[in-house]
Amino acid sequence: MNIPVITIDGPSASGKGTVAQLVAAKLGFHYLDSGALYRIVALAAQQRNIAWSDALAVTACAKTLDIQFSNDRVFLNDIDVSDGIRTEAIGKGASQVAVHASLRAALLDLQRSFLKAPGLVGDGRDMGTVIFADAPLKIFLTASTETRAQRRYQQLLGKNQPANFEEILQDLTERDARDKGRASAPLAMAEDAILLETDNLTISAAVDAILQHFHHKIYE
Protein backbone atom coordinates (compact mmCIF):
# COMPACT_ATOMS: atom_id res chain seq x y z
CA MET A 1 0.00 0.00 0.00
CA ASN A 2 1.32 3.43 -0.94
CA ILE A 3 0.74 5.36 2.29
CA PRO A 4 1.53 9.11 2.09
CA VAL A 5 4.17 10.52 4.42
CA ILE A 6 4.98 14.12 5.25
CA THR A 7 8.32 14.65 6.95
CA ILE A 8 9.04 17.85 8.86
CA ASP A 9 12.65 18.24 9.92
CA GLY A 10 14.36 21.16 11.54
CA PRO A 11 16.43 22.38 14.47
CA SER A 12 15.32 22.51 18.09
CA ALA A 13 12.55 25.00 18.93
CA SER A 14 11.73 25.62 15.29
CA GLY A 15 8.07 24.84 15.97
CA LYS A 16 8.08 21.64 13.93
CA GLY A 17 6.33 19.60 16.62
CA THR A 18 3.39 21.96 16.97
CA VAL A 19 3.09 22.39 13.21
CA ALA A 20 3.38 18.66 12.53
CA GLN A 21 0.65 17.80 15.04
CA LEU A 22 -1.71 20.35 13.49
CA VAL A 23 -1.00 19.14 9.95
CA ALA A 24 -1.64 15.56 11.04
CA ALA A 25 -4.91 16.57 12.71
CA LYS A 26 -6.08 18.47 9.62
CA LEU A 27 -5.41 15.46 7.37
CA GLY A 28 -6.53 12.79 9.84
CA PHE A 29 -3.05 11.25 9.69
CA HIS A 30 -1.01 9.53 12.38
CA TYR A 31 1.75 11.57 14.03
CA LEU A 32 5.29 10.61 14.99
CA ASP A 33 7.27 12.79 17.38
CA SER A 34 10.70 11.22 16.90
CA GLY A 35 12.27 13.64 19.37
CA ALA A 36 10.09 12.19 22.12
CA LEU A 37 11.77 8.82 21.61
CA TYR A 38 15.19 10.28 22.33
CA ARG A 39 13.80 12.18 25.30
CA ILE A 40 12.36 8.93 26.66
CA VAL A 41 15.72 7.20 26.29
CA ALA A 42 17.47 10.10 28.03
CA LEU A 43 14.97 9.94 30.90
CA ALA A 44 15.28 6.17 31.24
CA ALA A 45 19.07 6.39 31.22
CA GLN A 46 18.97 9.07 33.89
CA GLN A 47 16.67 6.93 36.05
CA ARG A 48 19.15 4.05 35.77
CA ASN A 49 22.18 6.28 36.45
CA ILE A 50 23.54 5.69 32.95
CA ALA A 51 25.72 8.48 31.56
CA TRP A 52 24.24 9.98 28.40
CA SER A 53 27.72 9.79 26.85
CA ASP A 54 27.88 5.99 27.30
CA ALA A 55 26.71 4.81 23.87
CA LEU A 56 26.71 1.07 24.62
CA ALA A 57 24.82 1.38 27.90
CA VAL A 58 22.31 3.90 26.51
CA THR A 59 21.59 1.66 23.52
CA ALA A 60 21.22 -1.42 25.71
CA CYS A 61 18.84 0.52 27.94
CA ALA A 62 16.75 1.65 24.96
CA LYS A 63 16.25 -1.94 23.80
CA THR A 64 14.54 -2.83 27.08
CA LEU A 65 11.97 -0.03 27.04
CA ASP A 66 8.25 -0.41 26.43
CA ILE A 67 7.22 2.87 24.78
CA GLN A 68 3.59 3.68 24.01
CA PHE A 69 1.84 6.77 22.66
CA SER A 70 -1.85 7.13 23.53
CA ASN A 71 -4.20 10.13 23.34
CA ASP A 72 -1.36 12.68 23.24
CA ARG A 73 0.28 11.04 26.26
CA VAL A 74 3.59 9.19 26.36
CA PHE A 75 4.07 6.05 28.44
CA LEU A 76 7.35 4.44 29.45
CA ASN A 77 6.91 0.95 30.89
CA ASP A 78 3.23 1.78 31.57
CA ILE A 79 4.09 5.01 33.42
CA ASP A 80 2.95 8.38 32.04
CA VAL A 81 6.13 10.39 31.38
CA SER A 82 4.53 13.05 29.16
CA ASP A 83 5.58 15.90 31.44
CA GLY A 84 8.83 14.37 32.63
CA ILE A 85 10.33 14.17 29.15
CA ARG A 86 9.59 17.84 28.39
CA THR A 87 11.96 19.43 30.88
CA GLU A 88 14.94 21.43 29.66
CA ALA A 89 17.34 18.98 31.32
CA ILE A 90 15.89 15.98 29.50
CA GLY A 91 15.88 17.99 26.28
CA LYS A 92 19.63 18.45 26.66
CA GLY A 93 19.97 14.75 27.42
CA ALA A 94 18.04 13.83 24.29
CA SER A 95 20.43 15.88 22.19
CA GLN A 96 23.37 14.09 23.79
CA VAL A 97 22.09 10.52 23.39
CA ALA A 98 20.96 11.23 19.83
CA VAL A 99 24.57 11.43 18.65
CA HIS A 100 25.04 7.69 19.22
CA ALA A 101 24.82 5.78 15.93
CA SER A 102 23.99 2.53 17.75
CA LEU A 103 20.96 4.13 19.42
CA ARG A 104 19.71 5.64 16.19
CA ALA A 105 19.94 2.23 14.54
CA ALA A 106 18.07 0.63 17.44
CA LEU A 107 15.18 3.09 17.08
CA LEU A 108 14.95 2.87 13.28
CA ASP A 109 12.36 0.09 13.01
CA LEU A 110 10.29 1.53 15.85
CA GLN A 111 9.97 4.85 14.03
CA ARG A 112 9.05 3.21 10.72
CA SER A 113 6.36 1.16 12.46
CA PHE A 114 4.32 4.35 12.83
CA LEU A 115 3.66 4.37 9.09
CA LYS A 116 0.03 3.28 8.86
CA ALA A 117 -2.98 4.21 6.73
CA PRO A 118 -4.32 6.74 6.01
CA GLY A 119 -0.94 8.53 6.32
CA LEU A 120 1.76 9.83 8.62
CA VAL A 121 3.29 13.16 9.57
CA GLY A 122 6.68 12.69 11.22
CA ASP A 123 8.85 15.40 12.71
CA GLY A 124 12.47 15.25 13.78
CA ARG A 125 15.93 15.82 12.42
CA ASP A 126 16.37 12.90 10.03
CA MET A 127 12.82 12.06 8.99
CA GLY A 128 13.35 13.09 5.37
CA THR A 129 16.99 12.11 5.05
CA VAL A 130 16.98 8.68 6.74
CA ILE A 131 13.76 7.37 8.30
CA PHE A 132 11.40 8.13 5.41
CA ALA A 133 13.81 9.05 2.64
CA ASP A 134 11.17 8.22 -0.01
CA ALA A 135 8.49 10.50 1.45
CA PRO A 136 6.59 12.39 -1.28
CA LEU A 137 6.66 15.63 0.73
CA LYS A 138 9.59 16.76 2.84
CA ILE A 139 9.61 20.05 4.73
CA PHE A 140 12.60 21.66 6.41
CA LEU A 141 11.19 24.02 9.02
CA THR A 142 13.59 26.52 10.51
CA ALA A 143 14.07 29.99 11.98
CA SER A 144 16.99 32.03 13.25
CA THR A 145 18.59 30.97 16.51
CA GLU A 146 17.43 34.21 18.14
CA THR A 147 13.83 33.68 17.06
CA ARG A 148 13.85 30.11 18.31
CA ALA A 149 15.39 31.15 21.64
CA GLN A 150 12.72 33.81 22.10
CA ARG A 151 9.98 31.28 21.41
CA ARG A 152 11.43 28.81 23.91
CA TYR A 153 11.83 31.62 26.45
CA GLN A 154 8.18 32.64 26.13
CA GLN A 155 7.07 29.00 26.23
CA LEU A 156 8.85 28.41 29.54
CA LEU A 157 7.47 31.60 31.04
CA GLY A 158 4.00 30.52 29.96
CA LYS A 159 4.49 27.31 31.94
CA ASN A 160 5.70 29.29 34.98
CA GLN A 161 9.13 27.72 34.64
CA PRO A 162 12.38 29.61 35.23
CA ALA A 163 13.89 30.95 32.01
CA ASN A 164 17.00 32.89 31.05
CA PHE A 165 17.13 34.07 27.45
CA GLU A 166 20.92 34.10 27.16
CA GLU A 167 21.21 30.58 28.56
CA ILE A 168 18.53 29.33 26.18
CA LEU A 169 20.27 30.99 23.24
CA GLN A 170 23.59 29.36 24.17
CA ASP A 171 21.93 25.97 24.66
CA LEU A 172 20.24 26.12 21.24
CA THR A 173 23.53 27.10 19.60
CA GLU A 174 25.24 24.12 21.22
CA ARG A 175 22.39 21.77 20.27
CA ASP A 176 22.52 22.93 16.66
CA ALA A 177 26.25 22.24 16.56
CA ARG A 178 25.76 18.74 18.00
CA ASP A 179 22.87 17.93 15.68
CA LYS A 180 24.66 19.12 12.56
CA GLY A 181 28.05 17.70 13.50
CA ARG A 182 27.18 14.18 14.61
CA ALA A 183 28.51 11.36 12.47
CA SER A 184 25.21 9.47 12.29
CA ALA A 185 22.21 11.09 10.56
CA PRO A 186 23.20 14.72 11.12
CA LEU A 187 20.60 17.45 10.91
CA ALA A 188 20.46 18.42 7.25
CA MET A 189 17.92 19.50 4.71
CA ALA A 190 17.11 16.72 2.25
CA GLU A 191 17.91 17.60 -1.36
CA ASP A 192 14.25 17.34 -2.35
CA ALA A 193 12.88 19.09 0.74
CA ILE A 194 11.02 22.40 0.73
CA LEU A 195 12.53 25.09 2.94
CA LEU A 196 10.04 26.87 5.19
CA GLU A 197 11.46 29.72 7.26
CA THR A 198 9.12 30.71 10.08
CA ASP A 199 10.74 33.83 11.54
CA ASN A 200 7.83 35.88 10.22
CA LEU A 201 5.20 33.14 9.92
CA THR A 202 2.44 32.31 12.38
CA ILE A 203 1.81 28.68 13.26
CA SER A 204 -1.41 28.66 11.25
CA ALA A 205 0.35 30.15 8.23
CA ALA A 206 3.04 27.47 8.39
CA VAL A 207 0.38 24.75 8.63
CA ASP A 208 -1.52 26.19 5.66
CA ALA A 209 1.66 26.37 3.59
CA ILE A 210 2.45 22.70 4.23
CA LEU A 211 -1.11 21.63 3.45
CA GLN A 212 -0.93 23.51 0.15
CA HIS A 213 2.33 21.78 -0.73
CA PHE A 214 0.81 18.43 0.21
CA HIS A 215 -2.29 18.83 -1.96
CA HIS A 216 -0.11 20.02 -4.84
CA LYS A 217 2.24 17.03 -4.52
CA ILE A 218 -0.43 14.38 -4.01
CA TYR A 219 -3.42 15.52 -5.99
CA GLU A 220 -2.09 17.62 -8.86
Q: What is the DSSP string of the chain?
A: ----EEEEE--TTSSHHHHHHHHHHHHT-EEEEHHHHHHHHHHHHHHTT--TT-HHHHHHHHTT--EEEETTEEEETTEE-TTGGGSHHHHHHHHHHTT-HHHHHHTHHHHHTT--TT-EEEEESSIIIIITTT-SEEEEEE--HHHHHHHHHHHHHHTT----HHHHHHHHHHHHHHHHH-SSS-S---TTPEEEE-TT--HHHHHHHHHHHHHHHHH-
- If one looks up domain 5-215 in CATH, what number appears? 3.40.50.300
Mean per-residue pLDDT, 68-72: 79
Residues 87, 126, 174: CA angle, nearest 5 degrees:
50
- Give the Cα separation of 193 and 63 in Å (integer): 31
Specify the pLDDT at position 70: 77
pLDDT band, residue 75 (cuts 50/70/90): very high
Specify the pLDDT at position 23: 96
CA terminus-to-terminus distance, the chain: 20
Q: 16-27 vs 203-219: helix axis angle to the nearest 10?
A: 50
What are the extents of the domains in the chain?
5-215
State CA 210 to chain mean position distance: 17
User: Could you tell me what percent of the chain has a pLDDT over 90?
Assistant: 76
Query: Tens digits of per-residue pLDDT, 120-168?
Result: 999 999 999 999 999 999 999 999 999 999 999 998 899 888 889 999 9
pLDDT band, residue 87 (cuts 50/70/90): confident
